[in-house]
Structure 1
Amino acid sequence: MAQVTDHGGGVHSIKVPIPDNPLGHTLVHLVDTDRGPVLIDTGWDDPESWDTLVTGLASLKTGVADIHGMVITHHHPDHHGLSGQVREVSGAWIAMHAADTEVVRRTRESEPATWLTYLTEKLAAAGAPEEHLAPLRAARASGRTRTLPGLRAAIPDREIVPGELLDLAGRRLRAIWTPGHTPGHVCLHLEEDHPARLPGRGRLFSGDHLLPGISPHIGLYEDPDDTTVTDPLGDYLDSLERIGRLGAAEVLPAHQHAFTDASGRVRELLDHHEERLTGLLALLAAPLTPWQLAERMVWNRPWERIPHGSRSIAVSEAEAHLRRLVKLGRAEAAGTGPVTYVAV
């Protein structure tokens, strides 16, 4: 049975499962408008996820064919995965920030093996051992790249413009660009009185940017053809501060549960990342590669119990923190092939 929550004021959420993922589910939000229901995110492209979404909509006396539009907070497959299938059934539009639309377009137009080639080279440069690289090479050689999620994700047909109201008849939903988790992540501010009259400024659909109990993954923005030295963690921290100043009465995130005191949660996350950066500086008393740093960082389980794919994600997160430390002048690169980093 789909788990559906009525948040009041014509807003509901449906728990759509994510297969084989500790997050468990994506909270797909449905917002009533004068032109029909609009979804904020859609869930993973999987038969069980689709069936759950259909069942949840049915419990709200609507169906996929009734969907008027989809507003996607970011391109990840647990948010954008079912958008194409919903559009096929309903003819609904799909809106996304241009930076993430470009990621979708680039992924669709690239050869399936391009991503694994890039990832293998990047991990090798980060100091990954051969036993970690070998499965990636084997997957590329076997053609298993065609099963990677997101290869055929739907291309959005509307652009979310930061600062502007979305075209939702009878609602005031304003886009706030919050890069960090992805380059085009957006939060969506429902500029309407809270239905329970909670103090604050409306409600915030926060996607993965602001979650009540976990910190979202902040890794490097991945574009094999772009040599720009980005700072995703710096982007995320700046975005957090903007959201903290918004003063939303309630946050409706894409995972876990709705919560209040957004500014308090923002402070917790800012403190968390400052503590983490300080801890990494202590680790960097001697030069370390990004892989060696990731091995020594504190995760939700010991390094030896982290699965292969999650280790690649952990290294990307270590690299994002290194980028931040270098930009702040608190660490520098040393050596070549693979590069090591040391505190200064």
Structure 2
Amino acid sequence: MAQTFDHGGGIRSVRVPIPDNPLGHTLVYVVDTDRGPVLVDTGWDDPGSWSTLTEGLAACGTGVGEVHGVVITHHHPDHHGLSGKVREASGAWVSMHAADIAIVRRTRETRPGRWFTYMAAKLTAAGAPEEHVSPLRSPGPRAGLPGLSPAMPDREIVPGELLDLPGRRLRAIWTPGHTPGHVCLHLEEAHPAGLPGHGRLFSGDHLLPEITPHIGLYEDPDDATVTDPLGDYLDSLERVGRLGPAEVLPAHQHAFTDAPGRVRELLDHHQERLAGLRDLLSEPLTAWQLAERMEWNRPWEQIPYGSRTIAVSEAEAHLRRLVKQGHAEAVTGSDPVTYVAV
């Protein structure tokens, strides 16, 4: 049975499950407009998730065939996965920020083997042991990455502009960090329960009540640009904090208030983590060695294969920030590259 919640003011949410994932579910928001419902995110592309979404829409008094549009906060498969099915069933438009549209296009056009070769090279350069890299050199039939054929959006979300939601005021706020094209969506309408603040914010994965969003490197096999995802994220956090929404409607967990307070917690968390990593870098370490020593939600030996890859990407994002701040540098001639505090 689909779990739905009425947030008031023509906004409801459906808890769409993410198979075999500790996050549990994605909150898909159903926004009433003068032209029919518009969805914020769609959930994971899985038969059970699709059934839950369609049941949830029925429980909200509508149906998938009535959907007018789909607004995607970012390209990850637990958010964009079902967009194609929704569009097929309803004729709805699908919108996304240009930076994430580029990722969707590249994902559709790049052969899976190219991704595996790229990831193997990245992990080797980060100092990963051969037993971690070798499965990528000869991936089996079930080693595929999720979302290799995501739906191509047909509309671009332009930051700062109001989206085309008849009868509503929904403004896009570009919040890169979790992905280069992540957007939050600011509903510039009085809170239905009269809570103090400036409207409501659909925050995607940018601002969550109890989880620190994953910030890793932006992966692109064909682009060697040295990006700074953590720097992007910290800047984006401050931008959202200044909005001062009355309530935040995130893509996971539950709605919450006091966005500025949560922003301060996350800014403090990352500053503390960066300081802790500088201490670890009193000796030269590869990104892999740094990830092994970082504090996670479980001991390193208990972290599964795929999560270790994600953890190393997060370690590299923090290294990029430390290097950009002048607090760390690569050791000349090291292979794989090691970093040390300065």
Q: TM-score range by the shorter chain?
A: over 0.9
Q: TM-score, normalised by structure 1?
A: 0.98
The equivalences for 1:276-315 within 5 A come to 276-315=273-312
| Paired amino acid for 1:292 | Q
Q: 1:153 aligns with which of 150, 157, 161?
A: 150
Residue 203 of structure 2 corresponds to which residue in structure 1? 206
Deviations 1:50-91 (A, max 9, x none): 000011001112111000000000000000000000001101
Residue 136 of structure 2 corresponds to which residue in structure 1? 136
| Paired amino acid for 2:67 | I
Residue 21 of structure 1 corresponds to which residue in structure 2? 21
| Paired amino acid for 1:325 | L
Structure 1 residue runs of 4 or more that deviate by more than 4 Å after TM superposition: none
CA contact 1:80–1:153 (8 Å) conserved in 2: yes
| Paired amino acid for 1:184 | G
Out of 127-136 and 166-175, give the one that drifted further: 127-136
SS of match in other structure, 1:260: coil
- Name the CA distance, whole Å, in 1 between partners of 2:264 and 2:67: 37
CA contact 1:113–1:143 (8 Å) conserved in 2: no
Task: Mark the runs of 5 or more structure 2 residues left unpaired by the alignment.
Answer: none
Deviations 1:244-271 (A, max 9, x none): 0001000000000000000000000000
State whether structure 2 residue 327 is matched by structure 1 residue 330.
yes
Residue 230 of structure 2 corresponds to which residue in structure 1? 233
Residue 258 of structure 1 corresponds to which residue in structure 2? 255
| Paired amino acid for 2:80 | H
SS of match in other structure, 1:62: coil
- Name the CA distance, whole Å, in 2 between partners of 1:34 and 1:116: 45
State whether structure 2 residue 118 is matched by structure 1 residue 121.
no
CA positional deviation for 1:337:
1.8
CA contact 1:280–1:297 (8 Å) conserved in 2: yes
Out of 195-204 and 112-121, give the one that drifted further: 112-121
State whether structure 2 residue 52 is matched by structure 1 residue 55.
no
Q: 2:241 aligns with which of 240, 244, 248?
A: 244
SS of match in other structure, 1:240: helix
Deviations 1:141-189 (A, max 9, x none): x4545x4211110000000000000010000000000000000000000
| Paired amino acid for 2:37 | P
| Paired amino acid for 1:197 | G
Residue 102 of structure 2 corresponds to which residue in structure 1? 102
| Paired amino acid for 2:279 | A
Q: 2:173 aligns with which of 173, 176, 179?
A: 176
- Name the CA distance, whole Å, in 2 between partners of 1:291 and 1:262: 33
RMSD, aligned CA: 0.7
Residue 341 of structure 1 corresponds to which residue in structure 2? 339
Residue 79 of structure 2 corresponds to which residue in structure 1? 79
SS of match in other structure, 1:171: coil
| Paired amino acid for 2:242 | R
CA positional deviation for 1:98:
0.2
Q: How many residues end up aligned between the 2 structures?
A: 341
| Paired amino acid for 1:338 | P
Task: Mark the runs of 5 or more structure 1 residues left unpaired by the alignment.
Answer: none
CA positional deviation for 1:217:
0.3
CA contact 1:201–1:248 (8 Å) conserved in 2: yes
Q: TM-score, normalised by structure 2?
A: 0.99
CA positional deviation for 1:336:
2.6
- Name the CA distance, whole Å, in 1 between partners of 2:112 and 2:224: 21
**Between the two proteins, what is the percent identity of the paired residues?**
79
SS of match in other structure, 2:138: helix
- Name the CA distance, whole Å, in 1 between partners of 2:243 and 2:58: 34
